[in-house]
Amino acid sequence: MLTAFAIFSDGLVYAAYLFLVAVGLTLIFGVMKILNVTHGSFYAFGAYGAATAAGVWYDRGLNDAGGLLFMVGLAMLIGLIIGIILERGILRFVYGRDEVVVVLVTYAVFLILEDVIVLIWGPRSYTAYQPMTAAGSIDIGDLTLSNYDIGLVVLAAALAACCYWALKYTRYGRLLTVVIFDRETAAAFGVNVRVLYTVTFIIGAMLGALGGAVMAPKMSITLGIGVEVIVLAFAVVAIGGMGSIEGALIGAVLVGLARAAAVHLVPQLELFVIYAVMALVLSFRPYGLFSQVQPRKI
């Protein structure tokens, strides 16, 4: 029973993490049909930015809650700046090229940004544990849960609800839904697709940076954190159906629970289980759980 509860709680926390990193990726893919490998860089920049912010803030002994806000704020600002530079500076020149070619462009940018991180922050690793320790923990039965983890789950749920609301009930969200469904028809009806692309990419970048910022207190921020994230996020997004936000949510929960179960029951399978879930889902639903039906064009 205790194990079951531990699996459930760990799984939810991991799912929250996965959703936070996958949502920006799936949004950009849904709207722009770009599989954005640079998402890993956004995440890494977010985490490094948060670590810097934490250093500045807590060295002055300022209060804890503000520190977390400052970290997230700085990270998202960095996401905003890189997002604008990438979209305006590089990506807009390759719109309309083969999808795979665009992936390679983002891969190239990812490689460049990996070294930019080294140039800015150097090869040493950083920590930003202060918000995590400040949040404390809570005992439920025999299990100790960190309040910060609970906060992560709440944040992920809030973000999911927010995305749902924005897509369903705001003007911008309705326009996005139209573009996701059929870009050409939307453009023919006078939707300014280019502007939507720019805005979406920037939002996606900021979401990636947010993911890095809120995860920063939970990990050692070191080189190569972006690499891991992009592969994980892709697995989640592929399970849910590329471009689908509710799919990313379901995918994150599925993978989160599966991984937590593996960690508690058969630890050797930890890395393996994520892709096993993916392979299993894709053998039955080749384009993910919430995929759109693609018409064959002759």
Partner 1 sequence: MTMRPTILGALAFVAVGLIAPWLPPWLVSLATIAFANALVVLGLIILWRTGLVPFGQALFYAIGAYAVALLGRYTPVRDVFVVVLAGAVAAGIVAFLIGFLLARYREIFFAMLSLAMSMILYGVLVKTETLGSTDGFHVEAGSFLGWRPQGATRNLALFWLVLAFSAAAAWLVARYFRSVAGSLTHPIRDNEIRVEFLGISVDRLIHLKLVVSGILAGIGGALAALAVQHVDPQMAYWTTSGGFVFVTILAGAGSVAAAFVGSLLFELVRSIAVTLVPGEWQMILGTALLLTILFLPEGLGSLVSRLRQKRKTAP
Candidate ranges 49-57, 96-104, 202-210, 243-251; the one touching partner 1 (CB under 8 A) = 96-104
Comparing CB distances to partner 1, the nearer of 74 and 289 is 289
- Cα separation of 291 and 287, whole Å? 6
Residue 270 interacts with partner 1 (CB under 8 A): yes or no: yes
The reply on whether position 265 binds partner 1 by CB under 8 A is: no
Q: Cβ distance 273 to 258 under 8 Å?
A: yes
Between 220 and 249, how does the x/- string for binding to partner 1 read (CB under 8 A)?
-------x---x--xx--x---x-------
| Under rule CB under 8 A, residue 116 binds partner 1 | yes
Cα separation, 140 vs 247, in Å, equals 31
- Decide: is 95 part of the binding site for partner 1 (CB under 8 A): no
Only one of the segments 13-21, 155-163, 247-255, 262-270 lies at the binding site for partner 1 (rule: CB under 8 A); that segment is 262-270
Sign of the four-CA dihedral 195, 197, 198, 202: positive
Is residue 278 at the binding interface for partner 1, with CB under 8 A as the rule? yes
Q: Are 39 and 26 in contact (CB under 8 A)?
A: no
Tokens read off for 199? 């805005």
Figure out which of the listed residues 181, 185, 279, 285 binds partner 1, where binding follows CB under 8 A.
Answer: 279
Is residue 90 near partner 1 by the rule CB under 8 A? Answer: yes
Q: How far is CA 153 from CA 4, 149, 202, 238, 252, in A?
A: 18, 6, 24, 22, 12
Rounded least distance, CB 57 to partner 1, Å: 29
CA-to-CA separations, 118 to 41, 58, 111, 124, in angstroms, rounded: 12, 23, 11, 9
Nearer to partner 1, 100 or 188 (CB): 100
Closest Cα partner for 240 from 280, 168, 291? 291
Query: Taking contact as CB under 8 A, which single stretch among the options 9-17, 93-101, 152-160, 174-182 is the one that binds partner 1?
Result: 93-101
Binder among 68, 109, 209, 210 for partner 1 (CB under 8 A):
109
Site for partner 1 (CB under 8 A): which residue of 60, 63, 96, 119? Answer: 119
Residue 273 C-beta: closest distance to partner 1, Å: 9
Q: For 294, phi and psi rounded to 5 degrees?
A: -95, 125
- By CB under 8 A, tell whether 99 contacts partner 1: yes
Per-residue interface string for the shown chain with partner 1, residues 10-49, x marking contact by CB under 8 A: -------------------------x--------------
CB of 272 to partner 1, least distance (A): 5
Residues of the shown chain interacting with partner 1 in the complex, contacts defined by CB under 8 A = 35, 90, 93-94, 98-101, 103-105, 107-116, 118-119, 227, 231, 234-235, 238, 242, 268-272, 275-276, 278-279, 282-283, 286-287, 296-298
